Amino acid sequence: MKITCPAFENNQYMPKKFGCEGEGVNPELNISNIPDGAKSLVLIVDDPDAPSGTFVHWIVFDMPVISRIGENSQPDGKFGITTSGSLDYVSPCPPSGTHRYFFKIYALDILLNLKEGISKGGLEKAMQGHILDKTELVGLFNRDK
pLDDT of residue 145: 75
> Rounded distance, CA 100 to CA 113, Å?
30
Q: What percent of the chain has pLDDT over 90?
A: 98
Please report the DSSP string for 5-64 in residue order: BTTB-TTEEPPGGGSTTTT-PPPPEEEE-PPTT--EEEEEEEETT-TTSPEEEEEEEEE-
Q: Is residue 96 pLDDT above 80, yes or no?
A: yes
Average pLDDT (8-29) is: 96
Average pLDDT (95-103) is: 96
pLDDT of residue 68: 98
> Rounded distance, CA 115 to CA 77, Å?
11
Average pLDDT (118-137) is: 98
- CATH class of the domain comprising 2-141: alpha beta
Average pLDDT (14-37) is: 96
pTM over 0.95: yes
